Amino acid sequence: MKIFMVRHGETDWNVAKRIQGQEADEPLNATGRKQAEERAEAMSGMTFDVMFSSPLKRASETAEIIAERLNLQILYRDELKERSFGLLSGKTFEEVNASIGTDWNQLTSEKDAEYLRLYKREPTEDFKRRLLAFTEEVKRDHADKQVLVIAHGGLIRLAHLLFRETHVAHIENVAIEEFEI
């Protein structure tokens, strides 16, 4: 089955390069609302049977704009929330790298375990389990349907790893990605 995933529109924290995670529930800014409207317009010829969204404001606002255009009902799911970054939420990437003494994207598993403990970041395996549980349920309940998901960059990057076995460094705001699961 196909799942189409759209990243939420821009927030002020995206512009400031601040880590949002689950802890920050930032709304879309004016650019983000415009991006969502443009994405909705670009998708107007597409047909979906079911639409899911993260309940966090930036995703739910994006979903509401798209759902209105596509005449879809939104089903909110906690499994679609961004990864929890614990005490690092709200910090810039530069601040995080300075506090841990290395590039957080280059952490070794030993160093990563320390980082998880100190900053209370959601473990990768828990994040992975959330997404896989959601996709298994969707496959079971919505087989042979076109599924639309509004979510977050981290979750969509994880989907690339799980379903395409590719590493993607960044997902642009309102980018749409198609996955066969």
Q: What's the sign of the alpha-carbon dihedral 72, 73, 79, 81? A: positive
Predicted model pTM: 0.93
Domain count within the chain = 1
How far is residue 136's CA from residue 55's CA, in Å, rounded to a whole number?
20
Q: For the domain that residue 37 is a member of, what is the CATH number?
A: 3.40.50.1240
The alpha carbon of residue 10 and the mean position of all alpha carbons in its chain are separated, in whole angstroms, by 12
61 is an active site residue? no
* Average pLDDT of every residue of the chain: 92
Say which of 10, 26, 82, 122 is annotated catalytic: 82
Query: Do the domain assignments include residue 106?
Result: no
- 156: its two tokens: 């969509």
For range 100-119, the mean pLDDT: 66
In a domain, 13, yes or no: yes
Tell me if 117 is assigned to some domain: no
Tell me if 159 is assigned to some domain.
Answer: yes
In a domain, 110, yes or no: no
Q: Which two tokens stand for residue 88?
A: 């690092």
The DSSP code for 50 is: E
Backbone angles phi, psi at 17, to 5 degrees: 60, 45
Domain ranges, residue 16 = 2-84+122-180
Q: Domain for residue 55, yes or no?
A: yes
Tell me the per-residue pLDDT of 31-75, one tens digit each, with 9 for 90 and over: 999 999 999 999 999 999 999 999 999 999 999 999 999 999 999
The verdict on residue 104 lying in a domain is no
Q: For 126-149, how does the pLDDT look when each residue is reduced to its tens digit (9 = 90+)?
A: 999 999 999 999 999 999 999 999
Q: How far apart are CA 4 and CA 81, in angstroms?
A: 16
Instruction: Provide CB contacts within 8 A for 140, sequence distance 6+.
Output: none
User: How do beta strands 146-151 and 74-76 pair?
Assistant: unpaired
Residue 129 within a domain: yes
The pLDDT score that the predictor gives to residue 93 is 83
% the chain with pLDDT above 70: 92
167 is catalytic: no
